[in-house]
A and B are shown apart, each in its own frame.
Chain A
Amino acid sequence: MTQLSPLCLLLLQETSGGRIAHAIEGVKHPDLSKFLVIAAILFIIGVAGVLTRRNLLVIFMSIELILNAANLNFIAFSRYLQDTGTGNPMAGQIFTVFIIVVAAAEAAVGLGIVIALYRNRETIWIDEIDLMKW
Chain B
Amino acid sequence: MILSGWETVFFWFFSIAAILAGLLTVMARNAVHSALFLISSLVSVGALFILLGAEFIAGVQILVYVGGVMVLFLFVIMLVNVGAEEEGRAPIFNRPAQVAAALIFSLLLVVALLAAINKGYVGLRDRDAAALKQTETTRSEQESKMQTGATGVSRITTQTESVGMSLFTNASLPFEIASLLLLVAIVGSVMLARTLKQEAAADDVDSEVLGQAPPAETGTDNI
Kindly state whether residue B106 has any CB partner on chain A within 8 Å.
Answer: yes
Say whether chain A's binding surface is mostly helix, strand, loop, or mixed. helix
- List of A residues within 8 angstroms of B4 by Cβ: 28-29
- List of B residues within 8 angstroms of A114 by Cβ: 76, 80
Contact B18 A76 (CB under 8 A): no
Q: Residue-by-residue, is B44-79 near A (CB-CB < 8 Å gives 1, otherwise 0)?
A: 010011001110110011001100110011001101
> Smallest Cβ distance from A37 to chain B, in angstroms?
6
Contact A83 B113 (CB under 8 A): no
Kindly state whether residue B174 has any CB partner on chain A within 8 Å.
Answer: yes
Given contact pairs A37-B117, A65-B22, A53 touches B69 in the complex (Cβ within 8 A): no
Contact A54 B93 (CB under 8 A): yes
Pick from A44, A61, A76, A98: contact of B52, CB below 8 A.
A76
Kindly state whether residue B186 has any CB partner on chain A within 8 Å.
Answer: yes
Given contact pairs A45-B26, A58-B26, A107-B72, A79 touches B42 in the complex (Cβ within 8 A): no
Please, how many angstroms separate the alpha-carbon atoms of A52 and B34 in the complex? 14
Given contact pairs A48-B103, A52-B99, A94-B166, A83 touches B19 in the complex (Cβ within 8 A): no
Contact A111 B64 (CB under 8 A): no
Please, how many angstroms separate the alpha-carbon atoms of A90 and B188 in the complex? 32
- List of B residues within 8 angstroms of A107 by Cβ: 69, 72-73
> Smallest Cβ distance from A76 to chain B, in angstroms?
6
Of residues 16 through 45 on chain B, the ones whose CB sits less than 8 Å from some CB of chain A are 18-19, 22-23, 25-26, 28, 31, 34-35, 38, 41-42, 45
Pick from B26, B65, B181, B193: contact of A100, CB below 8 A.
B65
Kindly state whether residue A21 has any CB partner on chain B within 8 Å.
Answer: no
14 further contact pairs, Cβ within 8 A, besides A29-B4, A57-B80: A48-B102, A52-B93, A55-B85, A57-B77, A58-B26, A68-B41, A68-B65, A90-B165, A103-B69, A104-B182, A105-B185, A107-B73, A111-B72, A112-B191
Q: List 21 A-B contacts (CB under 8 A).
A: A31-B2, A31-B3, A40-B117, A42-B18, A47-B109, A51-B106, A52-B102, A55-B31, A58-B92, A72-B48, A75-B49, A83-B132, A93-B166, A96-B57, A97-B167, A100-B65, A101-B181, A104-B69, A105-B181, A105-B185, A111-B72
Chain B residues engaging chain A, CB cutoff 8 angstroms? 1-4, 8, 11-12, 15, 18-19, 22-23, 25-26, 28, 31, 34-35, 38, 41-42, 45, 48-49, 52-54, 56-57, 60-61, 64-65, 68-69, 72-73, 76-77, 79-80, 82, 85, 90-94, 98-99, 101-103, 105-106, 109-110, 113-114, 117-118, 121, 124-125, 128, 131-132, 135, 139, 162-163, 165-167, 170-171, 174, 178, 181-182, 184-186, 188-193, 195
